[in-house]
Amino acid sequence: MISIKNLEFRYRNKELFNNLNIEIEDKKITSIIGKNGSGKSTLVKILIGLYRYNGNITIDGVSLLKDTIKEIRKKIGVVFTNPDNQFVAETVMDDIAFTLENMNYKKDDIRKKIEEVTKYLGIYDILEANPHDLNSNQKQLVSLASALVHEPKVLILDEALTMLDPYDKEKILKILKELNNQGLTIINISHDIEDTMISDKIYVLDEGKIILEGTKEEVYKEEKLLHKLGFDLPFMVELSNRLMFYDLIEQPIYEMEKMVDVLWK
Ligand code: ADP
């Protein structure tokens, strides 16, 4: 769905990416994690067409170039860390409409699309509220609605789960998993390894380079390397490893409910 080949990018006095290669598979959840300064935000800015780069990036078969950026923006939706910085209107309705107005949707279609997406996300009853007055979970759902309302093929989460408390995070992760099951490709960019638990594939970025890539199982096996890069294993992985050491479980279990079930028996 997204192919990044031989990406080169430098800030005036600093080379950040040199021959960076990333393949984001269609209909999968891919996480890209890295500590502060590893290049995550720069990568997002490149993908949404804010920075010029050298190399080849294609999104859904279209080369990411100045001339194609409008076409590409229709294919992607982005949710950032802090929704407050993204709200542009005084009501949730107008805020979500903004994306569609920019894409020249007709008034009737705008109304219909907003109704659909907000009903799906459970925020239909707050369409007249001021987005700034909402709680953090609702705010992030409004951002998600704005990112999804034009039915993109790819959703990019730029540290979008970071500010949520564990309860809200759990709820949003469930929605994301469901959207993914319906065919949405998701790129989850984060500094927190806990956020990788829902991914099919993980890339670990450090100082502009991919140091580790693979499935969850492959990446979580590299505990030493992860430590060196500043990451502890996710809680459920650590717990699974310890319980396996004492022969209390036979294989890793990453979902808490499942873990409780198995241990209870
Ligand atoms: P992350 O999002 O992973 O924290 P960034 O993409 O923000 O990483 O930064 C990667 C590197 O590029 C860092 O060393 C940072 O100092 C540098 N950098 C980021 N933005 C700029 C900029 N506007 N000008 C110069 N250097 C920058």
Cβ of 40 less than 6 Å from ligand 1:
yes
Instruction: Report pLDDT for 225.
Output: 94
Q: Is the pLDDT of residue 233 over 90?
A: yes
Q: Which pLDDT tens digit goes with each residue over 34-70?
A: 999 999 999 999 999 999 999 999 999 999 998 999 8
103-141 burial: b if 16+ Cβ within 10 Å, else e: eebeeeebeebbeebbeebebeebbebebeebeebbbbb
Question: Which stretches of 115-220 are assigned E, i.e. beta strand?
Answer: 154-158, 185-190, 201-206, 209-214
Q: Which pLDDT tens digit goes with each residue over 6-25?
A: 999 999 989 999 999 999 99
Q: Which pLDDT tens digit goes with each residue over 113-140?
A: 999 999 999 999 999 999 999 988 899 9
Residue nearest to atom 25 of ligand 1 (CA): 11
CA of 192 to the centre of ligand 1 (A): 18
Q: Which pLDDT tens digit goes with each residue over 185-217?
A: 999 999 999 889 889 999 999 999 999 999 999
Cβ of 11 less than 6 Å from ligand 1:
yes
CA of 62 to the centre of ligand 1 (A): 27
CATH 3.40.50.150 holds for 2-222:
no
The residues that bridge with 57 in the sheet, in sequence order, are 4
Ligand 1, residue 14: give the atom nearest the CA. Answer: 26
Residue nearest to atom 6 of ligand 1 (CA): 39
Instruction: Report pLDDT for 94.
Output: 94
Instruction: Report pLDDT for 169.
Output: 84
214 Cβ partners below 8 Å, 6+ apart? Answer: 201, 202
Q: pTM to 2 decimals? A: 0.91
For the chain, the structural domain boundaries read: 2-222, 234-265
Instruction: Report pLDDT for 202.
Output: 97
